[in-house]
Chains A and B, each alone.
Chain A
Amino acid sequence: MGRAVLRRSVQMVITLWLVSILGFVIIQLPPGDFLTLLESQLEEQRLSSAQIESALTGLRARYGLDQPVYVQYLRWMSSLLRGDLGYSMALRADVNELLSERLVLTLVISFAAMVFSLALALPIGVYSAMKQYSWADYLFTVLGFLGLALPNMLLALILIFLAVTVFNASTIGGLFSPEYITADWSPAKVLDLAKHLWLPAFIVGFSSTAGTIRVVRAQMLDTLGEPFIQTARMKGLSENRVITRHALRVALNPVVSGLGLSLPGLISGETITALVLGLPTIGPLLLNALFAEDMYLAGSILVILSGALVVGNFLADLTLAWLDPRIRLVEP
C-alpha cells in the first residue's frame, strides 16, 4: 500500500509539473501579447509616449518580460509555488484576490453538484439493474440517453428556464441575497448560500447524472451475475443485504474512479450555469480572461483547474485502494 501511494504521488507531481508547462505555453500563445493590447489602450487615453513607455517598462521588469522564456517560466513557477498567482493586467488586481472566494464557491457548487448527482444516480441505477427490462428501467434508459445526447449547455438552459417558470425560483441569479453579498461569513450567510446553492447544484449535477446512472446500472448488472452474489444468497442473507453489502460494494468501484474524471465536466457545466445565473465563480472569470488575453489570470485558472483534476484523480485512486483489498494489498 505504502509503495503504491508513493508511486502515485510521484506520478501526480510529474503530471502537475507538465500541467504547469502547458499552462505557461498557453499564457505565451496569444498572438498579440497583453502589453501590445495595453499600449494601444494607453494610446487611446492620449498619454504621452514617455508615460506609456515608463508604464510598460515597469511591467516588463516586474514580470521579466524582457528575459528569455525559460527565465519567465521559472519566475512564474516560483511565485506560483509561493502561492502568488500573479497580477491580472486587465482587472488590475492580484490574481490571488480575484480567485480566492470564487475558487471556494466553485468547489462548493461542484461538490454539491456531485453529491446531488450521486444521490439521484445511485438509487436509480441500482433500481434499474434490479428491475432490468421493467417499464421503469426502460423509462430511465430513455431519459438517460436523452441526458447523454443533449449538450450540457442546452440542458442547463432548459433547466434554468424550467426553474424560473415552473418553480418560480425567486432566488435565481447570484449565490447570496443582496444583504449578504458584502457581509462577512456567518452562519446566516452560509444558510443564505445553501438556499441559493440548490439550483446551480441541481443544474450542474443533472447533466452528469445520466452518465452516472448508466455506469451504476451496467456495473450492478455485471456484479449481480457474479457467482459470489449466488454465494451471498446461498448463505441465507436477505436480498437487501445481498444488494447493499455485497453487490454495491463491488459495483461502486468504477463509479468512484469515475468521480475523479467527472471534474472537468462539472467545471464546464458550472461555467455555463454561472454565466447564465450570474454566479461569482471561476468559470466566467476564466472566460473573460481568455477574451481579454489576460495571460496571468487565464494561466493561473487553467493550472488550478488542471491541478484540481489531477488531485481529484489521486484522491479517487486512494479511495479505491482503501475500499478494495485487491488494489490495497498488491505490491508492485
Chain B
Amino acid sequence: MEHSRVHNTNNNGRGGQPRLVLEVEDLYVSFGGYRGRTRAVNGVSFQIHQGEILGIVGESGCGKSVTALSLLKLVPMPPGRIDGGTISLHTDDTTVDVTALAQDSREIRAIRGRQISMIFQEPMRSLHPMFSIGDQIVEILLQHFAMNRRQALDKAVALLERVGLPEPARVVHEFPHQLSGGMRQRVMIAIALACEPQLLVADEPTTALDVTIQAQILELLQALQAEMGLAVMLITHDMGVVAEIADRVIVMYLGEIVETASVDQLFTNPQHPYTQGLLRSIPNWTDQPKTPLHSLAGAVPELLDLPAGCVFVERCPFADKVPGLRKPSLIETEPGHFVKCWLYTEEFVHARP
C-alpha cells in the first residue's frame, strides 16, 4: 500500500499525507450506572487518512470499542453519553460532526454503512440468524443505493466472490449457521464494504478465530484496503497483528491515548512503560524470554475511580521516580511520535530506563 501514497514534505515521519477522512478531537464518553459514571473515553484525539490502516491497541476495557462505536454514534444512550469533543467526518463536499447528530437521524443513518462501516469481534453472532446471506447484503445495498432487488442480489454475489468465498452463487442463498466463523467474517466484510465506504472500523475482527483463519482475514482486509483506497481503523489487543498490517498505532489505556506513532517507530522505540510492557508480551519479539501479557503487573483498574494523575501509575515500574499525581500530557518525542509520560520531559529525563 505504501507505494500508492502521495509523498510530500511534511514532518509526519512517514511522508505522505493523503486526504483526511476523520478527525476526532478531545472525545469524552461515559456510562451511567448504579455505582457512578464509568468514564470510558477521556480526551481522545486522532486522525485517519485515506488509504491508511490505523491500529488501536490496549488491553480489554480500555475504551477501544466505545471509541469505535462513537464514530457511528452507536454507543447505547442511555446509559452512554458523549460528554465532550467532536468527531468530524470529511466527505467530498462536506464536513459533519457526528457527535451532534441524533442517534436515529437520517443524517447519521446516511453515514452508517455508506461512509463508515464496522465489523465486529464475534462473526458467529454478528449476522442475523434468520435471514439468508444474500438478503443481509441486499439490505444494506437497498438502504443506500437506488437499485432493484435483482441488481442488488447480483452485486451481493460479486461481493461474496471478492471477499474470497467459494461458490458465491450458492452461498448467497445459505444461512449463517451453515458457514464457518471465518466465512461469516468474510460475509461481514462483504456487507461492510458493499456501499464502498471511506472508513472501515474493524473491532477485533480476528479475536474469535483460529490463528490460520486470523491470518487469512487480515490478509483479505489488507488487500481490500489497498484495492479500494480504504481507511481502516483496526482495533486489537494483539501487538503482533498491529506489527503485521498497521501503518500507524494508537496505544490506549483506561480511556486515554498514552502513545501514538508509526508502526516502525513504535516497535523500534517503544516509549511509554505500558507500550513496553505490551511489547514484551509478544512471543519472540525480543530476545528476552517470553513473558505473557499478565507480566504487566496488576490488572486494569476500574474506570469508576480513575487515578488523579497518570492513568498507568498503579502498574508503572517507574511510578516512584516521577510525580505520579500530576497528569502528564502528550509530548512529541520525535516527528509523529507522541507519548504521554513524565519520563520524556526535560525534568525527568534522568529517570528514564
Q: B126-134, B272-280, B328-336, B345-353: which one contacts chain A?
A: B126-134
Complex CA gap A221/B150 in Å reads: 35
- B130-A230 in contact (CB<8A): no
Residues of B128-168 whose CB lies within 8 A of A: 128-130, 132, 139-140, 143-144
Count of chain A to chain B residue pairs whose CB atoms are closer than 8 Å in the complex: 76
List 18 extra interface pairs beyond A250-B128, A250-B129, A326-B129, CB under 8 A.
A227-B122, A228-B125, A228-B129, A230-B118, A231-B120, A231-B126, A232-B128, A233-B112, A234-B72, A234-B112, A235-B140, A235-B143, A236-B110, A238-B104, A325-B177, A326-B175, A326-B177, A330-B177
Size bracket, chain B contacts: 20 to 34
What are 17 A-B residue pairs whose CB atoms fall within 8 Å in the complex?
A: A226-B125, A227-B125, A228-B127, A228-B128, A228-B129, A230-B126, A231-B126, A231-B127, A233-B72, A234-B74, A234-B117, A235-B112, A236-B113, A237-B139, A239-B104, A250-B129, A324-B130
Q: Decide if A8 is an interface residue (CB 8 Å cutoff).
A: no
Complex CA gap A226/B140 in Å reads: 19
Pairs of residues from A and B, 3 with the lowest C-beta to C-beta distance, nearest first: A236-B112, A236-B113, A325-B175
Q: Using an 8 Å CB-CB cutoff, how does the interface string of B174-192 with A read, 1 for contact, 0 for none?
A: 0101100000000010011
List A contacts of B72 (CB < 8 A).
233-234
Residues of A282-332 whose CB lies within 8 A of B: 323-326, 329-330
Chain B residue at minimum C-beta to C-beta distance from A228: B128
Complex CA gap A226/B103 in Å reads: 18
List A contacts of B127 (CB < 8 A).
228, 231
CB distance from A234 to the nearest CB of B (A): 5
Q: Decide if B111 is an interface residue (CB 8 Å cutoff).
A: yes
List A contacts of B49 (CB < 8 A).
none
Candidates A235, A249, A324, A326; contact of B113 at CB < 8 Å: A235
The residues of B with any CB-CB pair to A shorter than 8 Å are 72, 74, 103-104, 109-114, 117-118, 120-122, 125-130, 132, 139-140, 143-144, 175, 177-178, 188, 191-192
- B130-A236 in contact (CB<8A): no
CB distance from A235 to the nearest CB of B (A): 4
A323-B130 contact in complex given A228-B125, A234-B72, C-beta closer than 8 Å: yes
Complex CA gap A329/B109 in Å reads: 34
CB distance from A82 to the nearest CB of B (A): 43
CB distance from B27 to the nearest CB of A (A): 19
Chain A residue at minimum C-beta to C-beta distance from B128: A228
A236-B143 contact in complex given A227-B125, A326-B129, C-beta closer than 8 Å: yes
List B contacts of A324 (CB < 8 A).
129-130
Complex CA gap A249/B178 in Å reads: 19
A325-B130 contact in complex given A231-B120, A234-B118, C-beta closer than 8 Å: yes
- B114-A236 in contact (CB<8A): yes
- A249-B144 in contact (CB<8A): no
CB distance from A320 to the nearest CB of B (A): 11
Chain B residue at minimum C-beta to C-beta distance from A233: B74
List A contacts of B104 (CB < 8 A).
238-239
Q: Decide if A189 is an interface residue (CB 8 Å cutoff).
A: no
List B contacts of A231 (CB < 8 A).
120, 126-128, 188, 191
- B144-A236 in contact (CB<8A): yes
Q: Decide if A102 is an interface residue (CB 8 Å cutoff).
A: no
A228, A233, A234, A324 — which one has the most chain B CB atoms within 10 A of its CB? A234
CB distance from A256 to the nearest CB of B (A): 13
Complex CA gap A237/B110 in Å reads: 9
- A249-B130 in contact (CB<8A): yes
- A329-B120 in contact (CB<8A): no
A246-B128 contact in complex given A231-B191, A236-B144, A238-B104, C-beta closer than 8 Å: yes
